[in-house]
Amino acid sequence: MFALFSTIDLALRIYMWIIIGSAIFSWLYAFNVINTGNRFVGMVGEFLFKATDPALRPIRRILPDLGGLDISPIILLLIIYFIRVFMWNSIFPLLS
């Protein structure tokens, strides 16, 4: 059971870093810091968008419009953190 929980925890931690990378990439793209014509930059941006948008889209629908401010990545990071803490502190002790 420990191996399963550790694997799930690792996957959630990796996804947290992908969300953070996506948010940073979107800021760099919005402020025109990165070369948007570069093929590699486009591939990285497309990967980050496709990896995070399915999880962020439902959160964006629920949140009110805050102008240009998108706090959905922060909400998703909090949800993932809650899942990780709940998994280790509530579920894992019951199964071990």
- Whether 7 has a pLDDT exceeding 80, the answer reads yes
* pLDDT at site 36: 81
* pLDDT at site 59: 96
Q: What tens digit of pLDDT does each residue of 65-86 get?
A: 888 889 999 999 999 999 999 9
* pLDDT at site 65: 85
> Do residues 2 and 84 touch, judged by C-beta distance below 8 A?
no
Report the distance separating Cα 82 and Cα 79, nearest Å.
5
Whole-model pTM?
0.91
Domain range list for the chain: 2-95
Q: What tens digit of pLDDT does each residue of 33-50 get?
A: 998 889 999 999 999 999
